[in-house]
Structure 1
Amino acid sequence: MLNRKRNEQATRNAETSLIAHGTIIRGDVRFTGTLHLDGRIEGAVLGEGPNAVFTLSEHGHVQGEVRVPHAMINGQVNGDIYASERLELATQARVIGDVRYNSLEMAAGAQVNGRMAHQGEDHVQRELPAPEVRQEPATA
């Protein structure tokens, strides 16, 4: 059931990016269309646009926040997940962090170690705050 829905979502989004197994990205990743992660991201995963889809395979790992409209998780996320539209947690999903979603499908075997809360779109699709810019004091 999860695979059928995943294929339907992928068909709607013609732009698909793949981060292969063995690849490590350190830093935030922003994407449109579909992002499929078999590797590792150490930073935030940010889907831009209402049709952005993030899929995390059983080999994939995210060390950071995931903020997307649609997410299908079957790997490990160490960070909070914000899914403004739909979140699917497959059997091998392991989430260490809070989860906020609009629509949720969770398969037997998926694990969430954190709080889960249903939220409407207006609560979960906010932009991340801009990084702090440290200003040096002026010297005369």
Structure 2
Amino acid sequence: MFGWKKTPPLRTLIGEGTVMQGEIRFSDGLRIDGEVVGDIIAIGDKRTLLVISEKAKVTGKIRAGHVIINGLVQGPVESEDLLELQPKARIVGDVKYEALEMHQGATINGELHPMKTEDKPALKLAANNG
């Protein structure tokens, strides 16, 4: 999960002052500094990175591997690897995550749900090897 040697490259930028409407599907990395009205979905089976800067606003569903939020998201967020909520992050919607890092000042107005780990092998504790 966190043993990646390199962060995926940010190949796409939605710049400040830009407003996009409609679903966005991306691979590798995407950075949003503007406004998106629509869902943002990572595609493919490679690792992905989504960065939503403090100037950004997203209205719609988000689903990606590693998600870094420091702006406003109105809609559900699903992070398959790591969700980083930086100090100015504002989420209005439910959040599903594999791992969560939340800085002081970030807010969530919704429910937090850890991802199910049924497909992962159970931990074997040394103390149970009696």
TM value normalised by structure 1: 0.76
Corresponding pairs, count: 114
Segments of structure 1 that go 5 or more residues without pairing to the other structure are 1-8, 123-140
What does 1:101-140 correspond to in 2, within 5 Å? 101-120=97-116
Percent of matched pairs sharing the same residue: 35
1:120 is displaced (CA, Å) by 3.3
Higher helix share: 1
Q: What residue number does 1:80 align with?
A: 76
Q: What residue number does 1:31 align with?
A: 26
Q: What residue number does 1:20 align with?
A: 15
Q: What residue number does 1:54 align with?
A: 50
* Off by >3 Å, runs of 4+ in structure 1: none
In structure 2, relative to structure 1, the CA distance for the partners of 1:15 and 1:55 (3 Å cut) is closer
Segments of structure 2 that go 5 or more residues without pairing to the other structure are 119-130
Matched position secondary structure for 1:12: coil
TM value normalised by structure 2: 0.82
Aligned residues: CA RMSD: 1.8
Distance 2:18 2:7 in 1: 26
Distance 1:22 1:31 in 2: 20
